Structure 1
Amino acid sequence: MEYDWRWYYLEGPIPKCVGNLSTSLVILHFNANKLSGLIPSTFRKNCSIESINLNGNKLEGSIPQSIINCQGLRGIDIGDNEMRGAFPFWMETLPQLRILILRSNKFDGTMLVDSNTQQPFQKLQVLDVSQNAFVGSLPNRYFKNFRGMIDAKENQTDSEAYWFLRLIELKITVKGLEQLLERLLTTFTTIDLSSNKFSGSIPPSVGNLNSLRYLNLSHNTLKEHIPPSLGGMGLLESLDLSSNKLDGKIPGGLARLTFLAKLNLSMNNLKGEIPQSTQLSTFGNESYVGNVGLCGFPLTKKCAPSDGKPVFPRDDEYEFIDGFGWQCVVMGYGSGFVVGIGIGYMIIRSGRPRWLVEFFYGVGYKYKTKKRRHKAAPTRRGT
């Protein structure tokens, strides 16, 4: 049985009987309403629900652990609510979970916990916990074990998840833009941990996710160097590490990311020369702004040579706005000087115009002045 109430305007609490119906439900979508209160905690054993979408409501409280009874759950989206509590570590064991979206809530605490689960979230493809209040280090253990983001097979879907794939409707941020996802290929993979309070360094294990397409760690307090292992994420299309406290040089390995279409390293403490490559040269100044120590193309700041000698500016750095350089100015002055000498020589040789010669040499100057005064005297008429 299927219930999809997306096209109705609902408000108030979710009826508790919804949990009691979990053994006959496959899709539970109440997204984009004004539902409030708690999520029912009455999900029964042998729950048949494959997809839960409660995005865009006013739900509060924590995620009920009875959802663990839904062993066939493939996606859960409770983003854009007012939910609280810790990260749901107990979901690690859900064998079919491919989508976990907790964005824009009030979750807090760390994403680190000691667990006996050998392969947590083994099929997870979409993890979005952005715009919450998570603290501590990044979840290194997860990066090592996200099997769904390592060696993903191209252009395949799960034929067993018919209803889940047919009615999927997820709002996620991709390449800085919010997009509606209506189809989930095995190769679509994204991690968004942005706008939290994560600290510490970026673990090198992130580079293990060689099938990851989109990675957003922006707006945290991450520090130290960007790990060179990120250069091995050959399918990465978008990398956003902006607004952190990262330092050191940009790894040269990033130049090998040939699929990279969006890069944002702005507002950090990075320094040194930007790696030069065909791929990285396609990004503008906005990708690196706010790193006072960076230099080299596409920035206007030039890098000092390795021998420490001062950098002399190139000719084109003195160009005027209208396109004329210093060479044109010198040519203009030189030509004017030659022409001026020639004209002066002709004037002296010919003695004309006489007034100009008299002006410079005083020849006949007094005589000419008296003559002009005489002609200028007024003539009186008889009365």
Structure 2
Amino acid sequence: MKLFTRLVPAVLALCTTALAQISSDCNPMNATCSPNQGLGISNYSINFAEYETSSRVWNWTAGKATYDGNGAAFTVNKRGDTPTVKTRFYIFFGQVEVIMKAAPGQGIVSSIVVLSDTLDEIDWELIGGNNTHVQTNYFGKGNTTSYDRAVWHPISNPQEEYHNYTLDWSKEKLDFYIDSQIVRTLKYEDANGGLNYPQTPSDVRLGIWAGGDSKNDKYTIEWAGGETDYSKGPFNMYVQSLRISDASTGTQYTYGDRSGSMGSIQVANDTSKALSLDAGNGDTAAQSIKQKWNGLSTGAKIGIAASVLGVAAIGLIVFIFCCIKQRRAGKHEKLLEDAKFEKDRTELLAFRAEMGRQRSEKIALMQQAPIGVGNHGYHVPSSIGSHGGRGYQRY
């Protein structure tokens, strides 16, 4: 991070340790350097509540973290403690999302830094003596001629609640988000015409240090909120999870010249040179729903819960309305069917009555006809051959 310590020589041990967080082993603007190792995939994520950092992916430049259900704990126990870790891979634009809880304590600084070998820099800095604001900052090519680039943003209880700090970094602009709400936008042209705009492959660093140490210069102590009283420690910064997205997805980034411009970067996609990620520590999936939920502030969780309940209530009302409407429609259809049934029943009864009437009339006519009259209109004797012959009866 670019602090007021850059105004004076870093001759004190504590200042040297703090500045190590923003150092470059080889600056491509001054020398020929090895290519930067790229992530090689779209996303890398790790839940520190479940996994520890791996030496394949991470490099501890100072100290170590401890791990528990709260995540990775970066702790200042005593003077000189500055646990700091950085990724072994670089990204060339993309996103960095960190869910963390800042350390309390006057003069204690919790930081998230995106830094390139040319000292292009993007910062989140949380001051232990300030539980209402967080600072964002940026630098280009290590230019520290002015310190007017920092902006303070209001935030609720960053030392007591986990918050989501996200950078969305592209060639055109840099957006800062807190809990999914954008709080700052830096456009390329607004950074000294692009000269101070961060634009080269960068690693990601997490760290904590005592800016308020009594051996630091007065400007640093003042910026950090006052002198640190180590007897009130330990001071813990907790990082719950992290997600990094590389927009370029390259396996290697090489500087084509010493201009330090984004146009000079050569992107290679050689899978044989891809970083070997640990199966437990890194995966290509975006952050899980559980991670996102745990990283939200209490207010955000209440807001989401209220929204979900509101949607559920609306859904229930719609469901009840549809049921009532369907029930009414069903009643209407039943009335129509009942009317049709009654009509058919009435017509059937009328038909049966008519058939009965016609049958009765036929029977009455038959009963009124003369006895013995056949179909041909002559009398039929009851018997023939009365003189001894066999009689025949005709019907």
Normalising by the residue count of structure 1, what TM-score does the alignment of the two structures yield?
A: 0.30
* Greater RCO (CA < 8 Å, at least 6 residues apart): 2
Question: Highest Rg: 1 or 2?
Answer: 2
More strand by share: 2
Normalising by the residue count of structure 2, what TM-score does the alignment of the two structures yield?
A: 0.30
